[in-house]
């Protein structure tokens, strides 16, 4: 499996630090509003990376933060006359709803910056002790950028070029930096802002330190993959590297992955231009699976243009897969129960060729555009070869391949039919009777039927209880 590493600007063979395991940190949203479709791109893209790795057998520890202390959150809280935490909790809940609708798996851990302040203070202390940071008179703590010799290695920037670009800061007189390149680790509180007690002053952290700290706490000093949108390469990720490597004395992330930007009508999507859509806006017109499919139809590193025509094309593309699966289901209802014929077995071997094509595309730096094409080819193949004369086993095998590949992309192409309460009760009753009659095979079979339909059974002392997953 090859992964493009922003650090080396090359595709590299993926070799995890620990065999069979992947540790992955994805910078999450600042929660002051409903997420927009640009924020959804890294969520969908890196969820797909995770799903593919899990499919390959890796155990993935996936951490994605919520930035819940920030100027924009505080501004919104002041406008509404409430606490910053009320705003951030509201939009974390809304973000989780959008993620679920996009079929983005919850992270193994979703840490919040405000719950990790002690860790941030510890890391800042370490940086001061090691001579990489200093506190100014007003209590602001700065990272001494020039003390980290490799600064600029991710964004491929040269410190002296940066310095000439930042000249305006030198004359601003607004801060007490020793060098205009130094960046904030901790800043003093201002009127109306949340604050925490720290050795330097009452205040709050700068933005970059949270990710270094959360990544270390939940994944360790060295991790496999660190990811986010390409706008984060500089300064956010460059600063994270400086903080983590200076504090821990070890390389931070082995692979740095960045998604390209989502534009609207070929223009940069921006709140100030008013040309942005929230995920919620899109959900009014489309099933969010269509948005997910649209995002995966391009390579994750390419810029992607959002337009009504492209969304319609995505809708049609997804429909083709869904229709093929429902057609296979329909044929299966009346299909012969016989074993696969030789010809059918041969066709399934041929169909696996499309699965190999899918894997090849994904192994090449997660080329979802080509992977989706392989699904289309498989669908076309299924549509050509499945008919009323096909056996059930053959139809089932074809369907399983399509559903498996779609599932790796996080695309739901088969809606489980909702079961009515009465149907569930009847099956539970039958299961009880089967158990009494010691017919455990039938009892297990019924449990499996219910699990497939998303019904969870719980055997309690008062009897069997059930709920929908």
Residues making contact with Zn ion (CB under 5 A): 27, 211
Nearest to 224 by CA among 197, 254, 246: 254
Burial of 420 (0-12, 13-18, 19+ CB in 10 A): exposed
Question: Which stretch in 24-32, 132-140, 285-293, 418-426 sits in contact with ligand AMP by CB under 6 A?
Answer: 24-32
Work out whether 261 is an interface residue with ligand AMP (CB under 6 A): yes
Q: Which is nearer to ligand AMP, 189 or 301 (CB)?
A: 301
CB of 38: closest distance to ligand AMP in angstroms? 2
| Residue of the chain from 27, 104, 371, 395 that contacts ligand AMP (CB under 6 A) | 27
- Its sign, for the CA torsion 338, 339, 342, 346, is positive
Burial of 15 (0-12, 13-18, 19+ CB in 10 A): exposed
DSSP 390: S
CB of 224: closest distance to ligand AMP in angstroms? 18
Q: Which is nearer to Zn ion, 27 or 233 (CB)?
A: 27
Question: Which stretch in 49-57, 77-85, 214-222, 261-269 sits in contact with ligand AMP by CB under 6 A?
Answer: 261-269
Q: Which is nearer to ligand AMP, 44 or 443 (CB)?
A: 44
CB of 175: closest distance to ligand AMP in angstroms? 23
CB of 390: closest distance to ligand AMP in angstroms? 43
| Residue of the chain from 42, 180, 203, 317 that contacts ligand AMP (CB under 6 A) | 42
CA distance linking residue 325 with residue 177, whole number of Å: 62
The footprint of ligand AMP on this chain (CB under 6 A) covers a number of residues equal to: 15
Q: Which is nearer to ligand AMP, 40 or 136 (CB)?
A: 40
Work out whether 235 is an interface residue with ligand AMP (CB under 6 A): no
Question: Which stretch in 38-46, 287-295, 327-335, 375-383 sits in contact with ligand AMP by CB under 6 A?
Answer: 38-46
Nearest to 235 by CA among 162, 178, 303: 162
Q: Which is nearer to ligand AMP, 23 or 39 (CB)?
A: 39
Residue nearest to ligand AMP (CB): 229
CB of 396: closest distance to ligand AMP in angstroms? 39
CA distance linking residue 310 with residue 296, whole number of Å: 12
Burial of 224 (0-12, 13-18, 19+ CB in 10 A): buried
Work out whether 88 is an interface residue with ligand AMP (CB under 6 A): no
CB of 253: closest distance to ligand AMP in angstroms? 15
- Identify the three-state secondary structure at position 26: strand
CB of 148: closest distance to Zn ion in angstroms? 17
CA distance linking residue 225 with residue 258, whole number of Å: 10
Q: Which is nearer to ligand AMP, 49 or 232 (CB)?
A: 232
Which helix (DSSP H) or strand (DSSP E) does residue 435 occupy?
helix 421-436
HSE-CB of 295 using CA atoms within 13 angstroms: 29
SS (H, E, C) 123-190: HHHHHHHCCCEEECCCCCEEECHHHCCCCCCCCCCCHHHHHHHCHHHHHHCCCCCCCCCCEEEEEECC
Binding site for ligand AMP (CB under 6 A): 27, 29-30, 38-39, 41-42, 228-229, 231-232, 259, 261-262, 269
């Amino acid at each position: 499996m090859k992964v493009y590493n922003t650090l080396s600007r090359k595709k590299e063979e993926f070799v995890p630090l620990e065999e069979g395991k992947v540790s992955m940190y994805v910078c999450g949203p600042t929660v002051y509003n409903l997420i927009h479709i640009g924020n959804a791109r890294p969520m969908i893209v890196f969820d797909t990376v995770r799903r593919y790795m899990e499919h390959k057998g890796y155990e993935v520890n996936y951490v994605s933060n919520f930035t819940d202390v920030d100027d924009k959150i505080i501004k919104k809280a002041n406008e509404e006359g409430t606490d910053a935490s009320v705003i951030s909790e509201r939009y974390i809940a809304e973000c989780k709803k959008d993620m679920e609708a996009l079929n983005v798996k919850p992270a193994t851990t979703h840490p919040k910056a405000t719950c990790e302040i002690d860790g941030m203070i510890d890391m800042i202390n370490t940086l001061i002790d090691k001579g990489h940071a200093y506190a100014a008179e007003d209590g602001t703590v700065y990272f001494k950028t020039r003390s980290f010799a490799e600064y600029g290695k991710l964004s491929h920037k040269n410190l002296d070029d940066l310095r000439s670009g930042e000249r305006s800061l030198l004359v601003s007189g607004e801060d007490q930096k020793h060098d205009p390149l130094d960046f904030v680790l901790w800043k003093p509180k201002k009127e109306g802002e949340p604050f925490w007690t720290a050795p330097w002053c009452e205040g709050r952290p700068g933005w970059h330190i949270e990710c270094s700290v959360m990544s270390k706490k939940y994944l360790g000093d060295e991790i496999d993959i660190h990811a986010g949108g390409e706008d984060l390469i500089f300064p956010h990720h460059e600063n994270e590297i400086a903080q983590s490597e200076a504090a821990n004395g070890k390389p931070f992330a082995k692979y740095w992955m960045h998604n390209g930007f989502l534009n609207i009508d070929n223009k940069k999507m921006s709140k100030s231009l008013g040309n942005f859509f929230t995920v919620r806006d899109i959900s009014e017109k489309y099933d969010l699976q269509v948005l997910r499919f649209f995002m995966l139809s391009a390579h994750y590193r390419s810029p992607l243009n959002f337009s009504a025509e492209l969304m319609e094309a995505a809708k049609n593309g997804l429909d083709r897969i869904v229709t093929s699966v429902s057609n296979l289901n329909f044929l299966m209802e009346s299909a012969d129960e016989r074993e696969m014929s030789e010809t059918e077995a041969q066709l399934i071997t041929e169909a696996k060729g499309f699965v190999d094509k899918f894997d090849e595309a994904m192994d090449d730096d997660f080329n979802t555009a080509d992977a989706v094409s392989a699904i289309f080819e498989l669908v076309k193949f299924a549509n050509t070869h499945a008919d009323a004369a096909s056996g059930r086993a053959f139809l089932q095998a074809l369907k399983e391949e399509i559903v498996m590949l779609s599932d790796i992309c996080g695309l739901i192409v088969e809606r489980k039919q909702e079961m009515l309460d009465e149907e569930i009760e009847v099956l539970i009753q039958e299961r009880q009777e089967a158990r009494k009659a010691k017919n455990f095979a039938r009892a297990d079979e019924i449990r499996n039927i219910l699990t497939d339909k998303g019904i969870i059974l719980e055997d309690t002392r008062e009897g069997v209880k059930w709920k929908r997953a």
